[in-house]
Amino acid sequence: MDVYTASHWGVYQVDLKNPDQPHINPAPFDPDPSPIGLHQLDQKVTEQRVRRPSIRKSWLEQGPGTAPELRGKEPFVEVDWQTALDLVAKELDRVRSTYGNSSIYGGSYGWSSAGRFHHAQSQIHRFLNMIGGYVSHKNSYSLGAAKVIMPHIVGSMDELITMHTTWDVLAEHTELFVSFGGVPAKNSQISPGGTGKHAVRQGLYAMKKAGVRFVNVGPVDDNLDVGGDREWIQCRPNTDTALMIALAWELLSQNLCNLTFLETHCTGFEKFTAYLTGKTDGIEKNSSWAEAISGVPQNTIKELAQAMASSRTMLNIAWSLQRSHHGEQPYWMLVTLAAMLGQIGLPGGGFGVGYGAINSIGSDLHKLSGPTVRQGTNPVRDFIPVARIADMLSNPGQSFSFDGKQYTYPDIHLIYWAGGNPYHHHQDFNRLNKAWEKPDTVIVNEQFWTATAKRSDIVLPATTGLERNDIGYASQEGVMVAMSKVASPVGDAWNDYDTFSGLAERLGVGEAFTEGRTDMEWLRFLYDDCKDRWQQSNVSLPSFDDFWKSGILHLEKKRESVVMFENFRRDPTSNPVPTPSGKIEIFSEKIDSFAYEDCPGHACWLEPIEWLGAGSAQEYPLHLLSDQPARKLHSQLDSSPHSQSGKINGHEPISMNPEDAKKRGIHQGDTVEVFNQRGRCIASAVLTDKVMPGVVRISTGAWYDPDPETGLERHGNPNVLTLDLGTSSLSQGCSAHTCLVDVRGPVKDAIATQAFVLPEIQGSGSKTNAI
Ligand SMILES: Nc1nc2c(c(=O)[nH]1)N[C@H]1C(S)=C(S)[C@@H](COP(=O)(O)OP(=O)(O)OC[C@H]3O[C@@H](n4cnc5c(=O)[nH]c(N)nc54)[C@H](O)[C@@H]3O)O[C@H]1N2
Ligand SMILES: Nc1nc2c(c(=O)[nH]1)N[C@H]1C(S)=C(S)[C@@H](COP(=O)(O)OP(=O)(O)OC[C@H]3O[C@@H](n4cnc5c(=O)[nH]c(N)nc54)[C@H](O)[C@@H]3O)O[C@H]1N2
Ligand SMILES: [Mo]
C-alpha cells in the first residue's frame, strides 16, 4: 500500500521501508512537484521543535502580566501537561470572568497545516466559542483589500478565485496576456489544504506554445516563466493604477472602448469618464500624466492600449498589488479597464485576479468543499480587520472604520494563538513589540520555536501533519489524501485536538467539544458528512474504510472548461453579478456613500504614503518589495536545507539592481544593512537586472532575529521595515508592499544570525501524564 501525506505545497509519498526513518518522496502523479516539502523530516527542522509545555519564567513564578517586556528575552520552564493545562484553563477562566470574553483575542490568523480535521484554526475557534467566545478577525493578510472591495464592484473574491477561465481556454483563445505582477511559479507551488498536481507552469508553457503574447508589468521580471520570451514593462511599485488609468484614457480618446458592454453590463462609466478627462479635478489622466508617476513611457502606454483593444486580451493581477496603501484601487481599476475592453465573459478575454498566486487558480478540477470541522457560533461580536492587531492592542476603546461602519477596538488581556505566526506575518515588528506587551498572557500552540513562540508566556507543543491521522483535501486540486500517521510525535507534542479537549474538560465543556469521538472517529464522521454532501453534486466517494486503505483518491472527473462570467455576458438580467445593481460597478453608489477620502466612488490614483515619487523618497530612495518566499511557505520550514540553501552567509538575500549597488559600493554577496525610520536588518546582496533600478526585494519568511540590545534584525526579515497601516478606511488591509528604505554596506563585521538558537529552557525532563 502506498502511503501519502498532504501539505500546502504538495502531496508526497512516504517511504516506510524503514519505519523508524520515514522518507519523503515526490508523488509520482505530480508533474511538477515542489521541493519545499521534501525536508519536512530533516534533522535541521526537527531541532527547532517545541518538545514540552514551556512557561516563561517570571510569568510562572509571579503570575499573569509580570514583566511583559521580557517576552522573548527570558528562559522558559518546562512543566508537565497536567500542570500546563491546569494553568491555561485557570488563566482563561480568570480573564473571561474578570474582563469578559471580548478581552480574549483568539483570531489566531495563519496557515497552520494541511489536514482538515487537525486544522488549528478550526480547533481553536471551536474551543473558544464553547467557552464564551473570543475577539475574531475578518479577512486575511493575503487579500485584505480585495475581499472588501470586490463584492461591491463585481463579486466576492472567494467566488472569483474558483471561477477563473481555465488554462486550456487561455491557450486556445487568448492572444495577449498582460499581467500586473507576473504569474510567479514560486507561488503556485502552494494551495491551502494541499496541492494535488502542480499545473501553473504547464498552463503557461502551453499558452506560450500556442503563440500567446505575454507582457509583464511591474518592478521585477523574474515572476513570469512562460518557457520563452515575454516583454517586461518596468513600472514603479504601487503605481500600476496610474498606468491602468492612462490605458483607459487611451481607449477612451482613441474610441477603442466597447460602449455596448459598458452600457449593458456596467454602471457608472460616465462618472469615471469625467475623472479620466479631468472634468472633476482639472487633470487629464493621459499617458504623459501616467509616465510621470509610473515611469512607463507614453508611447508604450499608447501601443499597449491599442494592442489590448485589437487582441483577445486577458488582464491578470497579482495579489501583492492590493497588499499596499490604497490597495483597493489597482483591483477596481483592473476590472474597470477590462470592462472598457468589453471582453469579460469571452473565451480567453477579460480579467483574472491572481493566476499563479496559488496552484488552483485556473484549474478545471472539482470545486467542492471538503471535510470540515464545525466551529460553532461566536457569542462575541468584537472583531478586527486581521492586519489591525497592533492598533487593537495599543488603542483599546478607539474607533475604527471598516466597510462603511464604525467599530471600537476591544481591550485585550489574553491572546491565544494556534496555527499562525504573527512575528512572521505582521508589519513593523518594532511597533508590534510594544503592542505585544499589552496582554496579561500570551498562549500559543506551536510545533516550532518560532519568533512568536519565543515571545509567548505559555507554549504548548503541537504535532505535525506527519505525526497524526488526518484527511488532506483542497478544492480544485483533484485529490483526497488519507494522511496516516507516519512518525511518532517529537518530544511530548500533542495534537491540538487533544490539547483543546483537555482544556475543554477543565472548563466544563469537554463532552460538547469532543462529542465523545476519538480522532479516527472524527475522521470517519467528517468523511461521511462530506460523502453525503458530494452525493448531492453527483460525485460519489467510496466508503471511509476503502478510502483509508487506498491512501489516496484521485477525483479525476473534470469540470467543463470554464470561461469566467460567460453566463453574465450572455444574459446579464438572468445572471446578474452579486452587486447592488447586478452589473459591474465602475462607480459604486454604496462606496461613494461611505464618503471615504481614501476610497472614493470609482477607481482613481491616490498617492501611497511611501513610494518613489514621494518626498520621503529623498531620504529613503529605494522601494522595498517583500514578496512570498520561493523556498518555503511563509516562515514554515525556514531551517530546512532547501530554505537554507537560498541564503548567503546565513542571511536572506536582498535583490537589487547593479546600478543601485554601484552607487553604494555594494558587490554581489556583500552583507548589507537595510534601514528606514522603522527598523534595520541585515541581508546579503544579490545583484540582478531582473529588479528595476530604485527597487529592492527581500522575500518574507526569514525567522525574526533582533539583537536584544540594539534591535538590529540579523537574519533578513523585511517586516522590521514594512509599514503597519490599513490600506484604506474601507478595508483596513495589510500594506506590506508600500515601504521605502535605503541600503548601506558592505557591513564589515560578520553578524551571525541567532534565529535558530533555541530559548534557554529550565527544568527539562519532567514527566507527562496523558489526559
Ligand atoms: N512583508 C510582508 N509580510 C507578509 C506578506 C507579504 O507579502 N509581505 N504576506 C502575508 C500573507 S499573504 C500571509 S498569508 C501571512 C502568512 O502568515 P502565517 O500564516 O502566520 O505564516 P506561517 O509561517 O505559515 O505560520 C503558520 C504557523 O503555524 C504553525 N503550525 C503549522 N501547523 C500547525 C498545527 O497543526 N498546529 C499548530 N498549533 N501550529 C501549526 C507553523 O509552525 C507556523 O509557525 O504573511 C503575511 N505577511
Ligand atoms: N512558495 C510560496 N508560495 C506562496 C506563498 C509562500 O509563502 N511561498 N504564500 C502563498 C500566499 S499565503 C499568498 S497570499 C500568495 C500571494 O501571492 P502574491 O501576493 O501574488 O505574491 P507575492 O510574491 O507577494 O507578489 C507577486 C509578485 O508581485 C510583485 N509586486 C509587488 N508589488 C508590486 C507592485 O506594486 N506592482 C507590480 N506590478 N508588481 C508588484 C512581486 O515582486 C512579486 O513578484 O502566494 C502563495 N504562494
Ligand atoms: Mo496569504
The per-residue pLDDT for range 701-753, each reduced to its tens digit, is 999 999 999 999 999 999 999 999 999 999 999 999 999 999 999 998 878 99
Residue spans of alpha helices (H) in 278-388? 287-294, 298-310, 328-341
Ligand 2 atom nearest to 235, measured from its CA: 38
Cell digits for 180?
500586473
pLDDT tens figures, 130-173: 999 999 999 999 999 999 999 999 999 999 999 999 999 999 99
* Ligand 1 binding pocket includes 633 (Cβ within 6 Å): yes
pLDDT tens figures, 209-224: 999 999 999 999 999 9
Indicate which ligand has the atom closest to the C-alpha of 181: 2
**Across 307-316, 552-561, 687-696, least confident range:** 552-561
Mean pLDDT of 620-633: 98
Q: Predicted confidence band at 767 (pLDDT cuts at 50, 70, 90)?
A: very low
pLDDT tens figures, 66-105: 999 999 999 999 999 999 999 999 999 999 999 999 999 9
Residue reference for cell 506575518: 425
Mean pLDDT of 520-533: 97
The alpha carbon of 546 and the centre of ligand 2 are apart by a number of angstroms equal to 39
Indicate which ligand has the atom closest to the C-alpha of 628: 2
Q: What is the DSSP letter of 536?
A: T
Please say if the pLDDT value at position 459 is more than 80: yes
The residue contributing the CA closest to ligand 2 atom 17 is 357
CA 216/CA 135 separation, integer angstroms? 41
> 3-state secondary structure string, 676-696?
CCCCEEEEEEEECCCECCCEE
Q: Helix, strand, or coil here: 138?
A: strand
CA 173/CA 170 separation, integer angstroms? 5
Q: What is the DSSP letter of 662?
A: H
pLDDT of 555 reads 87
* Ligand 1 binding pocket includes 700 (Cβ within 6 Å): yes
The residue contributing the CA closest to ligand 1 atom 27 is 420
Please say if the pLDDT value at position 770 is more than 70: no
Please say if the pLDDT value at position 533 is more than 50: yes
pLDDT of 622 reads 98
Which residues, including other chains, have CB under 8 Å from residue 662's CB and lie 6 or more apart?
none
Longest dimension (CA), the chain: 78
Ligand 2 atom nearest to 239, measured from its CA: 35
Mean pLDDT of 374-380: 97
pLDDT of 2 reads 84
Cell digits for 316?
491578470
The residue contributing the CA closest to ligand 1 atom 39 is 419
The alpha carbon of 248 and the centre of ligand 1 are apart by a number of angstroms equal to 37
**Single-letter amino acid, residue 479:** V
Residue reference for cell 511597533: 431
CA 730/CA 673 separation, integer angstroms? 35
Mean pLDDT of 196-201: 90
Cell digits for 577?
453579478
CB 705 within 8 A of CB 682: no
Please say if the pLDDT value at position 197 is more than 90: no
501 or 751: which leads in pLDDT = 501
Please say if the pLDDT value at position 765 is more than 60: no
Strand order in the sheet with 458-461: 104-105, 414-418, 441-446, 458-461, 54-56, 76-78, 761-762
Mean pLDDT of 228-235: 97
**Single-letter amino acid, residue 226:** V
* Prediction pTM value: 0.97
CA 189/CA 9 separation, integer angstroms? 5
The 10 Å CB-count burial string (b at 16+, else e) for 289-326 is bbbebbbbebebbbebbeebbebbbbbbbbbbbbbbbb
The residue contributing the CA closest to ligand 2 atom 40 is 181
Please say if the pLDDT value at position 768 is more than 60: no
pLDDT of 230 reads 96
What are the C-alpha distances in Å from 631 to residues 59, 641, 764, 767? 36, 10, 33, 37
The alpha carbon of 140 and the centre of ligand 3 are apart by a number of angstroms equal to 7
pLDDT of 559 reads 73
Percent of the chain at pLDDT > 90 equals 93
Indicate which ligand has the atom closest to the C-alpha of 630: 2
The residue contributing the CA closest to ligand 2 atom 22 is 627
Cell digits for 550?
487506498
The alpha carbon of 456 and the centre of ligand 1 are apart by a number of angstroms equal to 16
CA 174/CA 338 separation, integer angstroms? 14
Cell digits for 353?
485576479
Mean pLDDT of 175-204: 94
Mean pLDDT of 357-380: 93
pLDDT tens figures, 400-456: 999 999 999 999 999 999 999 999 999 999 999 999 999 999 999 999 999 999 999
Please say if the pLDDT value at position 556 is more than 50: yes
CA 252/CA 246 separation, integer angstroms? 10
Indicate which ligand has the atom closest to the C-alpha of 327: 2
Residue reference for cell 488609468: 245
By annotation, the residues acting in catalysis are: 109, 111
Residues listed for the chain: 771
* Ligand 1 binding pocket includes 447 (Cβ within 6 Å): yes
* Ligand 1 binding pocket includes 110 (Cβ within 6 Å): yes
pLDDT of 170 reads 98
Cell digits for 184?
510567479
Please say if the pLDDT value at position 551 is more than 50: yes
pLDDT of 233 reads 98
- Residues within a 6 A CB radius of ligand 2: 142, 180-182, 184, 186-187, 189-190, 217-220, 223, 235, 237-238, 240, 318-321, 324, 357-358, 625, 627-630, 633-634, 737
Q: Helix, strand, or coil here: 441?
A: strand
The alpha carbon of 580 and the centre of ligand 1 are apart by a number of angstroms equal to 35
DSSP per-residue letters across 691-729:
B-TTEEE--S-SPP-B-TTT--BSS--GGGTS----S-T
In which element (H, E) is residue 279 found?
none
pLDDT of 766 reads 44
Q: What is the DSSP letter of 465?
A: G
> 3-state secondary structure string, 398-438?
CEEEECCEEEECCCCCEEEEECCCHHHHCCCHHHHHHHCCC
Q: Predicted confidence band at 530 (pLDDT cuts at 50, 70, 90)?
A: very high
The alpha carbon of 79 and the centre of ligand 1 are apart by a number of angstroms equal to 27
Residue reference for cell 518594532: 430
Please say if the pLDDT value at position 474 is more than 60: yes
